Structures are given as structure tokens and as C-alpha cells.
Amino acid sequence: MTNTLLRRIYLLFFVVVSLFSILVFRLAQMQLVNRSFYDDKLTASTTYTVTTSSPRGQIYDAKGQALVGNTVKEAISFTRSNTMTAQDIKEIAQRLASYVTLTETKVTDRAKRDYYLVDEARFKEVVEQLPDDQKYDQLGNNLTTATVYNNAIAAVPEEAVNYSEEELKIIYIFNQMNAAGTFDTVFLTTGDLSPEQIAYVTANKAKLDGIAVRTNWQRQDIATSLSSIIGRVSTEQTGLPQEEADDYLKKGYALNDRVGTSYLEKQYEEVLQGSRTVRTVTVDKKGSILSDTVDQQGEKGNNIKLTIDLAFQEGVENILRDYYNAELAKGNVANSEGVYAVALNPETGAILAMAGLAHDTKTNELTTDALGTITKVFTPGSVVKGATLSAGWENGVIAGNQTLYDQQIDTIKSWFTDLAGGSMPITATQSLEYSSNTYMVQVALKLAGQDGMTEDLLKESVYQRAMEKLRTSYAQYGLGVATGIDLPSESTGFIPKDYSLANVMTEAFGQFDNYTTMQLAQYVATVANGGKRQAPHLVEGIYANDASGGLGALIKPIEPQTLNQVGISSDEMALIQNGFYNVVNGGGAFTTGREIGYGASVAISAKTGTAEAYVTDEAGNSIYTSNLNVVAYGPSDDPQIAVAVVLPHSTDLTGKTSHHIVRDIINLYMSRRGQD
């Protein structure tokens, strides 16, 4: 044996002894020095935080009448323990089916395949039959468990998941149970429980691990004309909306929490959502529960009370229905989309009513459509002329109650076009009383820096200047911008970016941009209160619960919100108000809204408007129609209600139906105030 070989053997022996010594040293360190650390590891426990939702707060009208609530009933619940497998849950679901009535069969193809593969033997068999490239990568390494499982899902034959109706019901229940987190409790979708079924489940709890009968709540919608603006709440099965789930989870929500998904329910989600019961559950290594403590006791959500008195809301809707049905009988609104009205408190922005009727032009069926007041847009017509004057004063192109000649301009005619002389000097207030289109066109021309129809007007930059100024002033009244209403998804109107000189001139008298009924109501409310644009709001206040869970004490009132002050003087605003008063109460031969005052219980100020347009009927014929609109407030000297009414596409081009509607709404409101 050579010396070199001996040296190598000694070196190897030395390395082995050294490694063995290190191992012995490490074992001694673990057993002696760090013994307590490893003892703790052996006896370590796992802690779970479990949250449970509480009933949702309720919504009431201005008089305290419930508009939505919660129904409480006995339901089957399932609590998943930390040791349950999917196979365990499948067996529990199958046993449960013999005790209660299962109803739902809507399950996805993926859910059927997941259910099929819960059986370990089936899963193993399917995986064994997968081609190698669906189990191993190019180097022969195992693919991830998730990848192999997805490949197995795809490989399940169609005939294997051709389940019966009864089996599908079990799969539906299984999915709900299997989706529950550790120690989470979910309520299962079953038929209503009979006393016998409750007794059976209770008596057989030993066979139904995690199953119990508990009291559950469900959102109950009360059918009223306000139902659409109340909105919807998700179910435990749908849980958090997918697109908002991350935000909700950051706020402490659970995936199966019921949340508002639209309108008031969504807008006031954080108010209405009850506080959660929070438990801390600690288990040992074997899965045995060491402790289960309640850290926070959940409470029912707070309530909200609306500014709308349901009786007044329904009264407004009845007025709309009666007049619209009369117009249907006359054949005047065969091609009309419906009729809409909004009433506001002009000082606070409180919404007093938002009512609408949608008209099916094929069947003539009328359906309530309160949401249409914030989602549907219409050409307003001459009701906007007060805002046009405002643009003139704000930009210094007219002064005070300035006189201009009402005369034909290009193809736009005046009242006096066909009379002797063809023109007449009228003041700003008279331009409202008589609803002079050409007075407003002259204001628009002046906003463009022109005194008449000039070649410069053909320059885009020139007429665009006028449009920008008009729209800026209109926006101060809420026209073409968000109103600030406490509801999501309102339309801000239809405000085209592309337009011509002709569009600018027609814009000046309300024949181009389109607005919602709510925007028109905010506009007239701003005139009524002297120039403060108040955000419309539906909620009067946030309330606690009384001892029985009903409407309790006021927690927080919703204060009026002033969005802006119109940029004209009080004297100039008084001219608009005076013009609106004369529309109804003036004595001129061309006074446009005198019929609004006939039968009115108080003095009313208003502005009427028509907007002509062609529509196509079912036979393909082109029909000439007019939007019959009115904005008004009353009493004129102390405004308490501001109203906008829109009646689109009537063939009665000079009809007064909207005049009668607005008068009757104000009369109804004043009569109810006298009773309160």
C-alpha cells in the first residue's frame, strides 16, 4: 500500500470522524441547550380567527315605514372542523339529503368533476391513466399537484358526471360545505324546514358532524315604487362581488358575507352592514380544541331613514300614471318612453320624490321606473333658458334686464316673425315669460364675441368659445355634470364633444345636450333658493336600533351639501326668478305657462320647454314628436318644493299634460304639509 493511498484513507477517516463529532455536538445542543424550543414545537398549537356576520340594518321612509327588512327563520348550518376532509364532507352531504329537502340543482361542470374526484380511488385511477406529459415535465420531475389535478379534471369522462337531479342537489350542498374555511359556519340552501325535519336533524347530530339548525336572516324586499333605488344584497352563496372582493377582505369581510351590490344598499354598505362576531379558536397538534373564546360580540347594522315619504312618492306616481294613461287613450304617447318626475326640497337638496313610469311601446305596459330619473336622459327644451341668461350675465355680454329684439335669426324664428315688423323689443325677464328662442341665440352669439351672424362664426374656435361658456354656466346649475346624489351609477347626461355652429345656437334654447330628470330638478331648485346648488340626497339620517331591532335613536343626520354658488349677482338671480314667476302668472299675450297656475293651491314659478324630434314607429314611419317638459317651484315667495317633469315624444306638440302634472304634484305636497 503506497503512502499516498494511506494518506487518503487517513484523510477520509478524519473527515468522517469530524462529521460524526459535529452531528453528536448538534444532537447534544438540541437535547440540552435548546430542549425547551423543541418541546414547544412538539406541543405547539394552531390558532384560527373566525368571524360570523350579524343581521343587516333596515331602511325606512321619512315617516318610519320599513321599506326593506330581514326575515328570520330556522336554517341548516354547517361548521367545518380543522380535521375534515373533502371525502368526510361528501359523506355528510349525502346523509343530510335523507333528513331535509334539497332544492337547488344549478351546478357547474367543474363542480361535478370536483365532486367525482373527491373519492381518492377514483382520483388515483384517473391520474394513473393520464399520459406522462400531463404528470411529469421534460426532465421527468413531477408536475405540481395543482397542474396534475387540473389535468385529471379535464380527463374525467362526460358519462361519469351525468348525474341525476337528486345527485345534483347533493353536489350543490357539498360545494357550499367544502367552500367553508376552517371553523367557519355557512348556511346551506335547502327547502324551508318543517318542525319534523328540525327534530330529525337535531336528534341525529352525531351522524351529521358540523350540521346544526340555527336562526338565519335573509334580506326581505317590500314591493314599493322605491324598490329599484333600494338596490340588492348578495346571498351567502354569491358572497362578495368578485371585482370588489379584495377591497372588502381588507376591511375584514369574509368571502361569503352578504353585501349591498347596487344603489342604496351599496352606497350605505358600511352603515347597514352589521358588526361581526369574532372568535379565536386554538387547537393542538392532534386537532383537539384547546380553547374557543369570543373576542367581539356582533351587533345588527345601523338603520337609515330616507327623505322620501312613501305615501307622497306613491301619490306622485299615481299622478303620472293617471295623466299618462289618459294620453295613451288619446293616442298621443304611443311612441313615448314614459314619464318622469323629481321633487326636491330646494333649500336642503332632500329628495321628496323620484318617480317614473317606463312605457313599453309594443305592449303599452307601464312599469315603475324610479331609477330612470337618474339614468335616462332627455332633450330639455326651453326650460334651460334661465341658465342661458346666467351665462350671458356671468360673461358680461348682457347687463341687467337688458332689452334685445326678438327677431328671426337665420332659420330660427321669433314670436313676431310673421307679425307686422317681424320683431319686438323684449327684456330678459320677458324672454323667459315668452320663451324667446332668438333672444337666447343672441346671447350665444355674444358669448362667441359676435353681434350677429358673421363669417367669423364659421370658425370652429369662435363658436366653440360660446359652447364652452354655455356649458360652464349650465354646469353651475347641475346640467351636464354629476348632481352629487347619494346613489351610484347616475348619468351625467349626453354632452356630445362634436358639434357645429347650428348646435351651439340650438344649445342656447335646450335643443342639443340631454339631461336627466334629476339634473333638471337640481337646476330649478338652484333657481328657487337663489343660486346654491345643493346635492340631492335620499338619506335623512343614520339611526340605531331600538330594543326590538327596529328604528332607534338618531346617530347622525345627513347635512345639506352645497356644491357651488352660481356666479351671478343676487339681482341677476332675482331676474330669473321674476321671469319664472311671470311664465305662470304673467298677463302678456305670449305668456307660456299660465295653465300651470289654473287650480294651483299656491303661487307657482316655472319654466316650460318643448324639444321637437322625429321618432320611428313600429311600422317604420317617421313621426314628429315633442318632449313636453316643465321645471317649477312653489310657493313662489317661499319655495318649499322644486319639481321637474319630463314627458318625451308626445305627438300633441302643444300639449299641457306636463303643466297639469307639475301643478298637481305641488298641490299634493302642500296639502300633505298641511296635514303634518
Whether residue 41 is predicted with pLDDT greater than 60 in this model: the reply is no
**pLDDT above 70 as % of the chain:** 91
Higher pLDDT, 530 or 42: 530
Give tens-digit pLDDT for 254-310. Answer: 777 889 899 999 999 999 998 777 767 676 666 666 666 777 777 888 999 999 999
Whether residue 311 is predicted with pLDDT greater than 90 in this model: the reply is yes
Domain boundaries, the chain: 84-171, 310-531+566-675
Catalytic (active site) residue 636: no
Residue for grid cell 487518503: 8
Whether residue 31 is predicted with pLDDT greater than 80 in this model: the reply is no
**For residues 35 and 522, what is the distance between their CA atoms, to the nearest angstrom?**
76
The whole-number pLDDT of residue 346 equals 98
Among the listed residues 376, 319, 378, the one whose alpha carbon sits nearest the alpha carbon of residue 353: 319
Q: How many CB atoms lie within 10 A of CB 247?
A: 11
Higher pLDDT, 181 or 672: 672
The whole-number pLDDT of residue 42 equals 45
The whole-number pLDDT of residue 3 equals 66
Mean of pLDDT values over 555-579: 97
Residue for grid cell 362578495: 240
Max intra-chain CA distance, the chain: 139
The whole-number pLDDT of residue 628 equals 96
**For residues 577 and 562, what is the distance between their CA atoms, to the nearest angstrom?**
20
Give tens-digit pLDDT for 290-301. Answer: 666 777 777 888
**For residues 343 and 308, what is the distance between their CA atoms, to the nearest angstrom?**
10
Q: Give the cell for residue 649.
A: 315624444
Q: Is the CB of residue 344 less than 8 Å from the CB of residue 316? A: no
The whole-number pLDDT of residue 415 equals 80
Whether residue 579 is predicted with pLDDT greater than 90 in this model: the reply is yes
Distance of CA 536 to the CA centre of its chain: 15
pLDDT-based confidence at residue 237 (cuts at 50, 70, 90): confident
Give tens-digit pLDDT for 70-91. Answer: 888 888 888 888 888 989 999 9
Q: Is the CB of residue 645 less than 8 Å from the CB of residue 339? A: yes
Give tens-digit pLDDT for 393-413. Answer: 999 999 999 999 999 998 898
Q: Is the CB of residue 623 less than 8 Å from the CB of residue 335? A: yes
Least confident span in 453-457, 504-508, 581-585: 453-457
Q: Could you tell me which residues are beta bridge partners of residue 233?
A: 260
The whole-number pLDDT of residue 38 equals 47
**For residues 50 and 48, what is the distance between their CA atoms, to the nearest angstrom?**
6
φ, ψ at 356 (rounded to 5°): -155, 155
Among the listed residues 589, 585, 583, the one whose alpha carbon sits nearest the alpha carbon of residue 609: 583
Among the listed residues 452, 449, 450, 457, the one whose alpha carbon sits nearest the alpha carbon of residue 438: 452
Mean of pLDDT values over 651-670: 96
Domain 310-531+566-675, CATH homologous superfamily name and number = DD-peptidase/beta-lactamase superfamily (3.40.710.10)
The whole-number pLDDT of residue 300 equals 85
Mean of pLDDT values over 577-602: 95
Mean of pLDDT values over 512-526: 98
Among the listed residues 204, 225, 224, the one whose alpha carbon sits nearest the alpha carbon of residue 213: 204
Distance of CA 351 to the CA centre of its chain: 17
Question: CATH for 84-171?
Answer: 1.10.10.1230
Among the listed residues 343, 264, 341, 347, the one whose alpha carbon sits nearest the alpha carbon of residue 306: 264
- How far, CA to CA in Å, does 90 sit from each of 99, 100, 211? 15, 16, 13
pLDDT-based confidence at residue 217 (cuts at 50, 70, 90): confident
Burial class (CB in 10 A: 0-12, 13-18, 19+), 242: exposed
The whole-number pLDDT of residue 30 equals 55
Top mean-pLDDT range of 47-56, 568-577, 605-614: 568-577
Whether residue 176 is predicted with pLDDT greater than 70 in this model: the reply is yes
**pLDDT above 90 as % of the chain:** 53
Mean of pLDDT values over 655-674: 94
**For residues 107 and 168, what is the distance between their CA atoms, to the nearest angstrom?**
7
Strand order in the sheet with 277-283: 46-52, 277-283, 289-296
Write down the mean pLDDT value for the chain: 89
The whole-number pLDDT of residue 581 equals 98
Mean of pLDDT values over 606-611: 96
Burial class (CB in 10 A: 0-12, 13-18, 19+), 418: exposed
Whether residue 53 is predicted with pLDDT greater than 80 in this model: the reply is no
**For residues 529 and 106, what is the distance between their CA atoms, to the nearest angstrom?**
55
pLDDT-based confidence at residue 508 (cuts at 50, 70, 90): very high
pLDDT-based confidence at residue 67 (cuts at 50, 70, 90): very high
**Active-site position among 228, 336, 382, 650:** 382
**For residues 328 and 341, what is the distance between their CA atoms, to the nearest angstrom?**
18
